[in-house]
Structure 1
Amino acid sequence: MVNVFISKKLNKASTYIRFNQQNGYNATIDVIGDAWLQNFIHRTIKDFRFEYEHRRMGWNKILVISIILFSSCKNYYINEKGGYRPKNSKFKLSKPPYKLIKDDLIDVNSIYVNITKVSYGTKTDIDNSIIRFFSNGHYLENLEPYTDNINLKKLNNVNNSLLIGYYKIENKKNIIIDYYSVKKAEGGSYHKREGYIRNDSLFLFYDSFKNKEFPKPNKKNCRIYIRKKVDGLIGTPDW
């Protein structure tokens, strides 16, 4: 049996929840706090409300609470270059990171470019993304318009990248990418992509496939990146 009692004093409320047991013993929980908190308790247990003088918290208090909650849930920070970084790195491919070997098909002196047409109702837009790989197992990707006039300075500014992570090569041609991305309303999260390299093309599939038995690639099941040689690529990842 549960009995709820309410006392009023100085715009505060105290809620007593009493559990009556059959053996004659009672257990009582006393929750003391502002009346708005008590009302929340009573709404939850479908009880009556304590009527207090200040009926509204005020937008300033709500805003402060919202900021505190958002800040406590934020699992990333922004570095001095404007790139998103996880507060606690949990990359699966970082321990230890992969080291590129001579026979691997990835070229660290090139960028890999994907250009995809995206339809929004009656409108069509171009979605560009550029990938860079590093010999120490690091990977980055940016959404950048690609033109024949390469902006080398922007390509070498590696620490403001949109997506960051690590990669691993298997059997010289198969590739696994472990990356981190941020959606401001949802926070940061980790993802995995798999695919393979063939000639000057990189195929990254949206789904995982058992034993790396990838289907025939097309625009619906994967992103296709074309290798573009670029002289003067430099930069040291900070993740």
Structure 2
Amino acid sequence: MSVHGDAPVVLAELPVEVTTDGYFAPDVPDHARRKVRAALRYCPYPILRASVRMVRFPDPALPRPVVSNALVNVNGRLVRVQTTASSAREGLDALQHSLRTAIERIDRHPGRRGHGQRPVVPDAGDDPEIHPHGTYAPVSCTVDEAIADLDALDREFHLFHDVDTDVDTVVFRAGPTGYRLAQVRHQPLEVTPATPVAIEVGDAPRLSVGDATERLRCSGQPWVLFADSATGRGTVLHVGRDGHYGLVTLD
């Protein structure tokens, strides 16, 4: 049994909001609800809300086109996990495991978060590991398509290759319009996006992964865009939800 609002709720009856984008079999939403409830079965804290968002990208070149996000409010603290997979069921199996692991971490990183706040990122210590991974969505696209992918993936940033400017670019949530672009090589936009977007002035720094790691560590920021000195490609080093670093590349 857990708690939803002020009243006790049996987890089998816990409302789990599921939204999908792209083709999924009709039974996938109910399967997602069962997986989330199973992951939360042994949570010792009140569950205030749980939701899942699943996206299937139609690009046949993507080996893992299904992205699944779970967001759970555990007694006022937000817990978020994300998986990529080749199929919906594979993704939900991984989501259940990741969510249960994240819930177990709450005891190791106590603290209460208010409603609407971003999830806490645990500190991995002085020597965080670096885990390389590709971008979750198609690599080459327009700015408007990248913004749509950013929203579909429910992420804070998205690295892509802008097909109109031929420049590696990051779109992220910031600025008066809600979206902002940072480019490896500053270039005026060839096509005006349908969505208003601000643009950073200047080129991204050219760094090795080691230098980018030190810059990220000292900056206190959640991520840094740089041109990899070994490849010249746009690369993002970011703090993962486990406190370790993720290295996003376009190769």
What TM-score, normalized to structure 2? 0.25
The structure with the largest alpha-carbon Rg is 1
Between Structure 1 and Structure 2, the one with more strand by share is 1
